[in-house]
Structure formats: structure tokens, C-alpha cells
């Protein structure tokens, strides 16, 4: 096989990816991958970023794909390089993020024979890859090039189609791996289709919502005694106490506003995780996590209809409440086939697009809906907000206060990436409702890993116009500290708000925290790292914030700075547990006063 054959094929492949809409590729270094990497890098419509560590590269691609909504390509060499993509590929599978994972491999005649850097890469990511194909080499005949063009399109559309996710193509590449003469401009077979069309187009399905689904949902929302008249089959059912639960829905940035509009129109309490983008508008309930910790409130506010959109929120009280609603009818929109129902409580999974369907349902709602049910939730939410604000209103910085500050201060148009562990929980619990919707919030909640957090945030920064802020714990930062290299190597700007409690603070909430020294060493894992040194190593700014005023000022400086900066807040794990309990007690007390 000549290098010309290899490069002609891969140039056609890259051209076809670009025709489909691919704009980003994340490469990692190596020899076997040379033709693959250079072909992507030399395609002018694709921006290629370089990543030394494949694990970082994988998560960077994940962040890019989440923030842009488009598939992103990854390309690396053979061996453990490819294995280092596994965590990001698994997260992409679980969170339904489209990735094209292109791995270079030894050809079959060099496998399992002691050749260098050769491992078994066949179906390396198991079921985490939604499609796998072994791509061997052939002379660059017109038939072969048409097949490679079709293959690129199929990989791209497969990553996006139905339940989005990663596609893995494993390319067997033979030496020579570099060209010894310029590549001919002409392509055997004439190149791609006319007018820049992809070889194979597969437009996404945006079908009209099914009328029978709209009828059924409209009927289920009809509360006849409460003066909502629903055209159609209003006799079917009446659910005066409905709630709409909105969870992580990163792929459609307009969905949050659509849900908020629908909930307001239908006077339905909207329990909106900030990851849904729907914590806005008059029906949004921000503090459901704190409210539902109060058993009396949870029982008194049991709905008889639950409509869910997006992933299940993280909140344990919300999950337990939904699980225990024995007599409620629970429906969930599941257009991507995520099948999220760990409690086996969902009676109907609606495959239709939620925004379009709810817009059609809203059109059937006639007359004024009784607002008593929504008002009861809103009064409770205001009481909770007041109790939380009073509890957090002190100059010192607690972890809840840091989350609340970001929720109140980050501008609309900014993006907040939140790490797993307490950051994602604190954002869910303490973010306020905002008329402007607040920042876009992204998080790796597919597999809930703390790995790749920094790289994911840099990937989001590479795809985003507005400022990008990462809220992370110290263990998550230590885990992906190498991700900071993107600041200088790629010239990317990120503001990192580090909550440093010297270990995994989440575990102090669990019974295992009573296990003394073994707990400290093997579960909490304090490390004593001073991240100022990491900032210096990777060319980032670093500032400690000691109190609320200091955090506000440091955040402003970091957002205005040219380069990536870390704003570090030092907290104490024990005090953090106490601060959270204090908040929950204050909310319960506030509810009591509210009821009295």
C-alpha cells in the first residue's frame, strides 16, 4: 500500500466529515496515527486542537460536543493511547453526547505477535460505542473512495441519530506513514458530490408531535373542576395537582425557556434543575431539594400527575419523593431512548420532542387554571429562599454560599461547568430562579465521574463565546490537573472556582465518615496540595478568596483577565456538613412559620 493511497482515502474521509458539519477534531501525538491526524489537521473546515494526554483530549472533545451540540472527532495512536479515551467515551455514551473516536491500529498481520504498541483494540469500548467498525487499507480506487465518503457520513449521522453517542472506527494503518511526494489534487472517482453536499445526507427527524400524544397529555392535564377546559378528550382524566420536573437537557438550549413558558401557561409547578435551563419564570420552583427534605411538606404536596423532561435531577429527596408517589401518574419525555426510571414508576415514555408537544398541549388549554396549587408551591419556595438567604448571610464563605453567589452573579450568556460531588448538588440546591435564565449549566452526569472535569470545561470554553466558569472540588481538580495544560497550549481562557476542603467533602455526609483514620486516608483522601503551584506550572492566575466580598472581587478580576485563573476558597469538611444541616433546619422552620 502506498502512502498516497492511504492519504487519498483519509483526505476524502475528512472532507466528508466537514461536509456533514464536523468542525472540531482533538488529536493526540503518535506515529501510527500520523496519516489520520494529518488528514484531519489539513482539512481547512476543521479546527484541530492538540492534546498530549488522551484522557484529557477525550474529555475536552466531550465538553466541545456538549457546548456546541455537534459531533467532535478524536484521533489518537494505537495501544494504551486509545484506552485512555475510555472514560470520556463511557461518559459520552451515558450522557448521549456524539463523538467520533478514530483510533489508529497495527494492521492484522502485526497484531498479537509482539509488535510494538499493539493491544487488542477491537471493540475496545464495548457497548459504550454505539457503532464500531474495523477500517482496513485498500488502494485508492473510485469504489474505495466512495465507500470511505459513505463511511464518514454514516459515522457522523450515527453519532447524532436517535440516542446520540460515540462511534468508534479503528483504522489499520501500514507503513509508510508519511507521503514522499505531494498528494495529487485530483481524486480518483472525481471527489465528493457537487455543491458541497455530503455523500450521504440523513436529515434529523423533526416530526410534528403525534396528535394522539397531544390529546392524551392535554386530557391528563385537564383539571375539570378547576376551570381548565381542554379541547378534545377532557372526560378522560383530571389531574389538578400536576408537577413538571426538568432535568439535565444540554442538547437543546431553547428547551428551558419553552418548559418555563408552558409551566407558567398551565400553572404547573416547575421543579427545574439548573442543568435543564428551566429555572426561570413564574412557575419555577428553585428549592425543591430543601423543601422535599421536609417530610410534612413532601406528603402535603404529593401530586397526582408528574411530567418529566430531561434526565432525572441529582437531588436525592426529589428522587425518593418521585419513587414514593404511589398514586401519581408519571410520564416522561424520552425522545433519545434514555429509559431513565430507576424506581420503575413511569407509566408512559413519550418519544416525541417535548418542546413541540408541550407547545401543542398549551394550545389546548383554555380558560384560567386554578392557581392555588402553584401558589402553594411558590409560597413555600419563597419561604425556603428567605430561610436559605438568612442562613447564608454572613461574611465568611461556606460552600453553599459560593454556589449561591455564582447563581446570583454569573451573567446570562455565560456557561458554568459544575463538577460532580458537592458542586453539582450545591448548584441544584442553592441556585436561585432568574428571569434571564442565568448561566447555561453543564455537568458530566452520565456516569457521575469526577474525572476529566477540567478538560471538559476547557472543551466547553473552546466552543463558547461568553465566559466559561468551572466550579470544582479539590479532588476533582487534582484528578485532572493535567487538563490545565489547555490554558497555555491552546490559549484558552477559563475561570476556575475551586472549593478546597482538602478531600472529598461529600463523604463526610455519609455513615462511612465515622470510620476514623481509615475513612480519612482511604475515602476522604486529603492531599495537602497547594494549587497555587499548579497554577504557576500551567501559567494560570491564582487568587485566594477569604470572604464574600473577596470572592466577588476575585471573580470579577478573573472574569476580566486575559488568561485562565483559579479563584480558591478554603473550606472545612466538617463545617460544610454543619452548614448544610443548618440550611435544611432553617428551611423546615421557615415552612412551619409559613404554614402557621
Q: What element of type H or E holds 260?
A: helix 255-266
Q: How far is the CB of 91 from ligand TPP (least distance, A)?
A: 10
Alpha carbon of residue 539 to chain centroid: 27
Q: Beta-carbon neighbour count of residue 144 at 10 Å? A: 18
SS3 563: coil
DSSP state of 196: G
How many helices (H) and strands (E) the chain has is answered by 22, 20
The CB-of-295 to ligand TPP minimum distance in angstroms stands at: 26
* 75 vs 402, beta carbon nearer ligand TPP: 402
Of 88 and 173, nearer to ligand TPP (C-beta) is 88
Residues constituting the chain: 596
Residue placing its CB nearer to ligand TPP in the complex, 236 or 522: 522
Least distance to ligand TPP, CB of residue 405, Å:
16
- Work out how close the CB of 167 gets to ligand TPP at its nearest, in angstroms, rounded to a whole number: 24
12 close to 187: Cβ distance less than 8 angstroms:
yes
Q: For residues 99 and 102, what is the distance between their CA atoms, to the nearest angstrom?
A: 9
Q: Does residue 408 sit in helix, strand or coil?
A: helix
For residue 112, give every residue at least 6 positions away whose Cβ sits within 8 Å of its Cβ, in sequence order, or none: 118, 120
Please give the backbone phi and psi of residue 550, each rounded to the nearest 5 degrees, phi first.
-65, -40
Report the residue number, 121 or 420, with the smaller CB distance to ligand TPP. Answer: 420
| Residue 475 Cβ vs ligand TPP, minimum distance, rounded to whole Å | 3
Q: In angstroms, what is the minimal distance from the CB of 423 to ligand TPP?
A: 6
Minimum Å gap between C-beta 34 and ligand TPP is: 31
Give the closest residue to 9 by CA, choosing from 160, 248, 256, 189: 189
Between the CA atoms of 488, 494, 497 and 500, what dihedral angle is there, to the nearest 10 degrees?
Answer: -30
Kindly tell me which of 350 and 506 has the beta carbon lying closer to ligand TPP: 506
Cα–Cα distance for residue pair 226/499, rounded to 1 Å: 48
CA distances from 60 to 235, 426, 495, 573 (A): 52, 24, 16, 30
Q: Closer CB to ligand TPP, residue 63 or residue 449? A: 449
The CA distance from 492 to 471, in Å, is: 17
Q: What are phi and psi of 306, to 5 degrees?
A: -120, 130
CA angle 223, 229, 235 (to 5 degrees): 65
**Minimum CB distance to ligand TPP, residue 220 (Å):** 37
Tell me if 335 sits within 8 A of 352, measured CB to CB: yes
- 239 closest CA partner among 257, 256, 226: 226
Measured between alpha carbons, how far is 300 from 387 in angstroms, rounded to an integer? 20
- Name which of 154 and 401 has its Cβ closer to ligand TPP: 401
Nearest approach, Cβ of 268 to ligand TPP (angstroms)? 33
Position with the least CB separation from ligand TPP: 473
If the CB atoms of residues 63 and 473 are measured against ligand TPP, the closer one turns out to be: 473
Three-state DSSP state, 47 = strand
CA nearest neighbour of 443 among 94, 25, 27, 54 = 94
Enter the DSSP assignment of 132: E
Task: Identify the residue whose cell numbers are 465566559.
Answer: 467
Query: Smaller CB distance to ligand TPP: residue 134 or 572?
Result: 572
Residues that bind ligand TPP (CB under 6 A): 419-423, 448-451, 473-476, 501, 504-506
Q: Least distance from C-beta 480 to ligand TPP, angstroms?
A: 9
CB of 478 to ligand TPP, least distance (A): 8
The residue among 408 and 478 lying less far from ligand TPP, judged by its C-beta, is: 478
CB of 547 to ligand TPP, least distance (A): 20
Those residues with Cβ within 8 angstroms of residue 467's Cβ, 6 or more apart along the chain or in another chain: 410, 411, 414, 415, 493, 495, 559
Amino acid at each position: 500500500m502506498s502512502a498516497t493511497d492511504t492519504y487519498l482515502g483519509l483526505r476524502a474521509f475528512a472532507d466528508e466529515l466537514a461536509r456533514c458539519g464536523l468542525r472540531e477534531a482533538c488529536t493526540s501525538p503518535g506515529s501510527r496515527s500520523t496519516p489520520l491526524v494529518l488528514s484531519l489537521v489539513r482539512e481547512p473546515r476543521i479546527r484541530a486542537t492538540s492534546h498530549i494526554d488522551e484522557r484529557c483530549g477525550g474529555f475536552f472533545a466531550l465538553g466541545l460536543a456538549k457546548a456546541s451540540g455537534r459531533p467532535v472527532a478524536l484521533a489518537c495512536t494505537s495501544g494504551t493511547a486509545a484506552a485512555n479515551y475510555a472514560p470520556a467515551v463511557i461518559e459520552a455514551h451515558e450522557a448521549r453526547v456524539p463523538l467520533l473516536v478514530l483510533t489508529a491500529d497495527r494492521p492484522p498481520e502485526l497484531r498479537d505477535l509482539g509488535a510494538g504498541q499493539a493491544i487488542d483494540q477491537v471493540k475496545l469500548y464495548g457497548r459504550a460505542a454505539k457503532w464500531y467498525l474495523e477500517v482496513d487499507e485498500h488502494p485508492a480506487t473510485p469504489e474505495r473512495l466512495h465507500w470511505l465518503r459513505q463511511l464518514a457520513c454514516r459515522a457522523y449521522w450515527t453519532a447524532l441519530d436517535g440516542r446520540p453517542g460515540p462511534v468508534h472506527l479503528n483504522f489499520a494503518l501500514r507503513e509508510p506513514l508519511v507521503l514522499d511526494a505531494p498528494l495529487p489534487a485530483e481524486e480518483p472517482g472525481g471527489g465528493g458530490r457537487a455543491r458541497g453536499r455530503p455523500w450521504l445526507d440523513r436529515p434529523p427527524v423533526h416530526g410534528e408531535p403525534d396528535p394522539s400524544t397531544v390529546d392524551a397529555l392535554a386530557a391528563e392535564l385537564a383539571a375539570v373542576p378547576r376551570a381548565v377546559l381542554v379541547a378534545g378528550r377532557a372526560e378522560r382524566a383530571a389531574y389538578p395537582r400536576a408537577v413538571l420536573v426538568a432535568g439535565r437537557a444540554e442538547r437543546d438550549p431553547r428547551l428551558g425557556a419553552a418548559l418555563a413558558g408552558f409551566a407558567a401557561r398551565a400553572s404547573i409547578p416547575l421543579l427545574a434543575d439548573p442543568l435543564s435551563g428551566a429555572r426561570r419564570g413564574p412557575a419555577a420552583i428553585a428549592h425543591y431539594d430543601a423543601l422535599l427534605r421536609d417530610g410534612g411538606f413532601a406528603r402535603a404536596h404529593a401530586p397526582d400527575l408528574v411530567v418529566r423532561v430531561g434526565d432525572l435531577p441529582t437531588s436525592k429527596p426529589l428522587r425518593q419523593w418521585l419513587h414514593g408517589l404511589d398514586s401519581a401518574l408519571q410520564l416522561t419525555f424520552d425522545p433519545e431512548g434514555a429509559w431513565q426510571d430507576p424506581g420503575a414508576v413511569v407509566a408512559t415514555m413519550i418519544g416525541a420532542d417535548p418542546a413541540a408537544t408541550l407547545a401543542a398541549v398549551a394550545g389546548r388549554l383554555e380558560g384560567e387554571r386554578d392557581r392555588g396549587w402553584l401558589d402553594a408551591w411558590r409560597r413555600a419556595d419563597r419561604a425556603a429562599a428567605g430561610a436559605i438567604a438568612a442562613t447564608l448571610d454572613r461574611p465568611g464563605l461556606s460552600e453553599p454560599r459560593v454556589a449561591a453567589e455564582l447563581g446570583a452573579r454569573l451573567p446570562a450568556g455565560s456557561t458554568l461547568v459544575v463538577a460532580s460531588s458537592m458542586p453539582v448538588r450545591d448548584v441544584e440546591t442553592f441556585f436561585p430562579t432568574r428571569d434571564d435564565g442565568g448561566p447555561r449549566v453543564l455537568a458530566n452526569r452520565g456516569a457521575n465521574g469526577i474525572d476529566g472535569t477540567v478538560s471538559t470545561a476547557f472543551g466547553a470554553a473552546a466552543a463558547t463565546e461568553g465566559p466559561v466558569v468551572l466550579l470544582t472540588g479539590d479532588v476533582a481538580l487534582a484528578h485532572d490537573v493535567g487538563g490545565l495544560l489547555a490554558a497555555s497550549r491552546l490559549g484558552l481562557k477559563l475561570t476556575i472556582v475551586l472549593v478546597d476542603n482538602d478531600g472529598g467533602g461529600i463523604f463526610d455526609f455519609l455513615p462511612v465518615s465515622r470510620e476514623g483514620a481509615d475513612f480519612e486516608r482511604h475515602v476522604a483522601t486529603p492531599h495537602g496540595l497547594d494549587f497555587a503551584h499548579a497554577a504557576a506550572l500551567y501559567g494560570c492566575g491564582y487568587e485566594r478568596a477569604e470572604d464574600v466580598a473577596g470572592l466577588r472581587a476575585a471573580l470579577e478580576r478573573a472574569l476580566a483577565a486575559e488568561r485562565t485563573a483559579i479563584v480558591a476558597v478554603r473550606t472545612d469538611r466538617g463545617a460544610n456538613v454543619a452548614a448544610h444541616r443548618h440550611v435544611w433546619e432553617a428551611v423546615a422552620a421557615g415552612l412551619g412559620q409559613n404554614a402557621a
